[in-house]
Structures are given as C-alpha cells and as structure tokens.
Amino acid sequence: MFDDFFVRAMVAGVGVALVAGPLGCFVVWRRLAYFGDTLSHAALLGVALAFLLEVNITLAVFAVCTLVALALMALQRRASLSSDALLGLLAHSALALGLVALAFMTWVRMDLMGFLFGDILAVSVADILVVYAGGAAVLAVLVWIWRPLFAATVNREIAEAEGLAPGRANFVFMLLMATVIAIAMKIVGVLLITAMLIIPAAAARRLAAGPEHMAVLAAALGVASVVLGLSASLQWDTPSGPSIVVAALLLFLLSLGPLGRLAPFGGRRARAPAHKTEAQR
C-alpha cells in the first residue's frame, strides 16, 4: 500500500507532533515565538560543531540550544537591552556562526537544505526511536512541571508566593524546548520547527475549553497536519516539511472560520492571561 520510507516518515512526524503540540501551548501563552526561533537558528551551529568534533548531531544541537538559553538568561540579568533585542542578537549570531563554520569545513559535504527544511522521508528506525524516547521524556517532564509552569505563566508573583519555584520551572521549560528542537530537526528542519510548535497550538486555542484540553487538541491538530501534509506531498510531489506546515496553516484558518464557530467555548477558557515572562523582560 505505502512504501516503507513513507510509513517511517508518518510515524516519525506523528511522534514530533504529539510532543510539539503541548509544548507549543506554552510558547503561545507566553508569547515566546521569537525564543523558539532563536533556538532553532542556534541548531545550525550545533550541526556545524557536530561535524567539527565528530559527535552525534542531536546531542550537539541540544547542547548548543541549552547554552543559548543559558546565555539569554545571563544577558537578561547583565545587559540593558530588551529581551527581543537579545533574542535577535543570539538568533542571528548563532546562525551566522554556524554558516561560517560550515564554510570553513571544506572537507564536509552536507545537504544544507535538508537541515534547514528537514528530510522526513529519509528518517530511519533509529531516528524514530530517538523521537519517541525523547518525546516521551519531554512529555513526562512537562506533566511534572505543568502546575508551576502554568502558574508562572498566569502570574509569576503569585506562583512565587505559593512556593511553586517558577524560576526552576522556566529553566526546565527551556531545556524541553532545546530537546524538542534537537529531536525534530531532521523531521521538519531548523527553519520550520517553530511553525510546528506555534501553529497547531494557535489553532487549538480557538477550539479548546481549557488549558489541558488545548494541549490535547494541539497534539491532535499537529498529528492531522502531519498526515495531511505527507499525503499532499505524496500526491503532488511537494517538499514534505513545508507541506506539513502548510497543512497546519490550513487547519488554523479553518479554526478561524467553520471549526471555530462549532467550538462550544470558542477557546475563551484556554487563554492564559497576558503578562511579561522572563524571556520578554
């Protein structure tokens, strides 16, 4: 019925969507889209270091994304610049450093477009194991920190007063973001990871009755995006990663129209109150 490579691509894509959806809810609630972009841009520097040091690419990307997140936290305390300026500085600097490093490594032959936009059709069984093992760990940790992280999202001062350690929850959340970007890079590419975090969660926000419901819906919409995108890619011979993102966009547009009108709560109870998070201060 389907070739083995297509089945592997579908299984891997579903695994990424199941993790990216719930995590993306906090990206939407906290207005951290630019932070996700920063980490995804830094992933290319991780790829360059992996080739230079001859280490595992996923581990190198995770390490670089974690260092960038720590650098952001340190600069927020010391620098007088706003957070969006710091994020722009880190994002473009990491991307430029990665491209320059790859240019100097003339002995390396790599598919740069594959890293930028993903190559889901080339995933192996080992890649699928990494996606599901890493994804299960991310979801388990997200469930563990859900209460303090959501409390900090609503109101950091109240969370601190209740002894929920929002600072620790925020740091763990950054590590989870780095993990998801590292394991999803080969699937949708460094330039499209943020889209998979944001778009299903944004669509789910219009349909959900509450925060937990939104997280489940975001995962379901992400899975639907993978299935529709890969099917369209097979039918019309379009790039697989971008096709998945386009499918997610179509679902978001539907949430603004027909699906949104059918939603019983219109997503009103799924909205976390707007406030300034650590990454915005």
pLDDT tens digits along 59-101: 999 999 999 988 888 887 776 778 788 888 898 898 899 888 8
- Share above pLDDT 90 across residues of the chain, in percent, rounded to a whole number: 41
The total domain count for the chain is 1
Query: pLDDT averaged over the chain?
Result: 85
- pLDDT confidence of residue 109: 73
- Confidence bin at 135 (pLDDT 50/70/90): very high
91: in domain: yes
Q: Is residue 231 part of a domain?
A: no
**pLDDT-derived band at 116, boundaries 50, 70, 90:** confident
Domain-embedded: residue 235: no
Query: Is 174 part of any domain?
Result: yes
Q: What is the pLDDT of residues 176-199, one digit of tens each?
A: 999 999 998 878 888 788 899 999
Question: 1 in helix, strand or coil?
Answer: coil
Question: With 0-12 CB in 10 A as exposed, 13-18 as middle and 19+ as buried, what is 220?
Answer: middle
Q: Quick check: is 208 in a domain?
A: no
Tell me whether residue 21 is in a domain: yes
Supply the pTM of this predicted model. Answer: 0.87
Range of the domain at 142: 4-194
Domain presence at residue 32: yes
146 part of a folded domain: yes
CATH number where 136 lies:
1.10.3470.10
